[in-house]
Amino acid sequence: MNTCKNRCLVCEGESLEVLCRMASWYGIKMFHKVAICRDCGHIQAYPLFDEKEYSIVNRRFFGRKYLPDGQQNPDNSKKERKLNEQLSPYLREGLNILDIGAGEGWALDYFRKHDCRYFAIEAVARLSEAIRTRGGTVIGESLFDDVRGYEHFFDIVVFRAILEHMLSPSAALSRVRRFLHPDGLLYLSVPNAANFSIRKGFRTSYLRPVHISYFCEGNVLRLAHSAGFRAVRSQSSGAELSILLKRGSDKGLKNHNYYAQQKHFFRQQYRRAFVRDTFQIVRLYAARIRHRHIFADGLNEEKD
Ligand SMILES: [Zn+2]
């Protein structure tokens, strides 16, 4: 497992170069650096947070994200359409599906329509209870829980919008691999760091402390390969990378260095959003001063 806070999460190189600072309400401090690896072009939070810092960041951010009890996010049709595009050719009756980081379990109804058996891993107790109530099986709170009996059990594992949050994405993928049946399929999706919107800001919105990694397609494939996967299909159009993987190795995969193109793209987005970001940073700074009692105790728990 990668334990060094200043080491690249993709190639494990130690030659990281600071690109800029993000500014966020949810960070331990208002600013946190983002760096690029000179050896592979991967972009990540710098330094990496430790477990305690990151759990505080997550609690601040996700504490505001989910809707109150019993309500489902009404905007699930788009996510369901994407799931259908990727997985419909592979679905058949009786498959065991694992949805990691299932959230409110919006995918449960989709898989049930296809007569598949739905299992979930979900950390938030209220959400996992809602999944159970609707007939899903929750097997754990975390990918790293001891879930004996489910090794190599699942025909399809859904791992959407999680890998970019992992302090050790390589260990996470290795763990996912253990759940997968030898012929099983992993549906991995991450935000595309080579194509994204800065409509709400670059340093103040796109870059955010809950995201540890900013993957381009080549580097997420490299990481998956090193964790024992080969790509069946990879789509990089739009702001999301959607990748279908199977266990195995991809001998044809070459490791490129995306340093120049990723640095150029991020610097370009920095300049494009400069005025908007500066305005947001001033507002954010004033808000953090106004609410300094929340942040004054540093790593201690917030008292809402
Ligand atoms: Zn690297």
**Domain CATH number, residue 299:** 3.40.50.150
For the chain of 304 residues, list the mean pLDDT of each consecutive stretch of 10. Answer: 78 97 91 97 96 89 59 72 93 97 92 96 92 95 90 97 96 96 97 94 96 97 96 89 94 91 98 97 91 64 43
Q: State residue 72's pLDDT score.
A: 52
Centre of ligand 1 from the C-alpha of residue 38, in Å: 7
Which pairs with CB-CB distance under 8 Å and at least 24 residues apart come from 59-64? 59/302, 60/25, 60/26, 60/302, 61/26, 61/208, 61/209, 61/210, 62/124, 62/210
Centre of ligand 1 from the C-alpha of residue 49, in Å: 18
Centre of ligand 1 from the C-alpha of residue 301, in Å: 33
Centre of ligand 1 from the C-alpha of residue 15, in Å: 8
Note residues around ion ligand 1 (Cβ under 5 angstroms).
8, 10-11, 13, 37, 39-40, 42
Centre of ligand 1 from the C-alpha of residue 39, in Å: 5
Question: Taking the CA atoms of the chain, what radius of gyration do you get in angstroms?
Answer: 19
Centre of ligand 1 from the C-alpha of residue 13, in Å: 5
Other beta carbons within 10 angstroms of residue 10's beta carbon come to 27
Centre of ligand 1 from the C-alpha of residue 249, in Å: 20
> What total of structural domains would you count in the chain?
1
Centre of ligand 1 from the C-alpha of residue 110, in Å: 37
Give the integer Cα–Cα distance in Å for 209 and 291.
19
Centre of ligand 1 from the C-alpha of residue 16, in Å: 8
Centre of ligand 1 from the C-alpha of residue 258, in Å: 9
Query: Cα dihedral sign for 146, 147, 150, 154?
Result: negative
Centre of ligand 1 from the C-alpha of residue 295, in Å: 33
Centre of ligand 1 from the C-alpha of residue 207, in Å: 19
Centre of ligand 1 from the C-alpha of residue 14, in Å: 8
pTM of the model: 0.90
Q: Tell me the CA distances in angstroms from 198 to 22, 178, 180, 263, 281, one per residue in order.
A: 13, 37, 36, 16, 15
What are the residues whose beta carbons fall under 8 Å from the beta carbon of 186, sequence distance 6 or more? Answer: 156, 157, 159, 176, 177, 180, 229, 244, 245, 246
Centre of ligand 1 from the C-alpha of residue 40, in Å: 4
Centre of ligand 1 from the C-alpha of residue 206, in Å: 21
Centre of ligand 1 from the C-alpha of residue 300, in Å: 33
Centre of ligand 1 from the C-alpha of residue 43, in Å: 8
Centre of ligand 1 from the C-alpha of residue 41, in Å: 6
Domain that holds residue 105: 1-304
